[in-house]
Amino acid sequence: MLRLLIPLLIAGLTFSACNRKTSPASAEEKKERAPLPPGVLEGWISIGANARTFTPCGSNRPVWLDANRELEEQYQSEKETYDYAPVYVLVEGNMHASRAYPYGQALTVTTILQSTAKAPDHCPPSAPAIVKGFGNEPPWSLEINRNKKTILLKTGYEQEEIPFPYSHPQQWGDEWTWYCLNKTGKSMTVKLKEKECADSMSGQKYAAQISVQFGEKLFTGCAGDKIEE
């Protein structure tokens, strides 16, 4: 889990995630969980136009998902209405090498044992609750709100507002990617990485870098907590 996901409150910039509390009962249940049989895997699948992934419980490194028709139909029937919404699955399948970048591995599912959009206590999905980023020349800002299911990009000195429906991010280690498409057909890709960033005007350092590819325009800037020196 990224250290950035601890709730932050700073001037004009917030990056936070839900901090799930585990009850003694659920902690004991997790401790006593029997290992899965050979060939059975559990985790979260996410399927969309740009990515099809399976993320094992407790991992931040997904693998590519070789989704068949049955699995895709099951996913669509279980998922929430927003793009790339995660669905928990218990499946039989096998891992194998894949050329899909950056995954290196892929999962082929042979049998679906269980699927649900509801997170089991021992395997919560991971996604930032709120992301706020900004950049300069020209000025722009971005806010992603998982709870409100909204994404809002503001660009230019007039701060033109360009809304997008919420999209669940794809995680790869300390990097998150949101693939977004709004009702007018405009697309946007947001990348957030836990790597030090300096404000191009003030020099103030922040804990994360953020980039927004909006059509042919690329905006780059900072997100996360301030780094005090």
Domain 40-116 architecture: Beta Barrel (2.40)
**Tokens, residue 166:** 């919420």
pLDDT, position 182: 92
The pTM assigned to this predicted structure is 0.82
pLDDT, position 73: 95
Please calculate the CA angle 153-75-69 and round it to the nearest 5 degrees. 120
pLDDT interval class at 228 (50, 70, 90): confident
Measured CA to CA, the distance from residue 16 to residue 130 in angstroms comes to 5
Residues 27-83: tens digit of each pLDDT? 444 456 778 888 899 999 999 999 999 999 999 999 999 978 999 999 999 999 999
- Topology of the domain comprising 3-17+126-226: Lipocalin (2.40.128)
H or E, element range at 72: helix 69-78
Q: For the chain, give every domain's residue range.
A: 3-17+126-226, 40-116
What value does the mean pLDDT take over residues 133-150?
Answer: 95
pLDDT exceeds 80 at position 13: no
Residues 175-215: tens digit of each pLDDT? 999 999 999 999 999 999 999 999 999 999 999 999 999 99
Three-state DSSP state, 34: coil
pLDDT, position 147: 92
Displacement of CA 42 from its chain's centroid (Å): 18
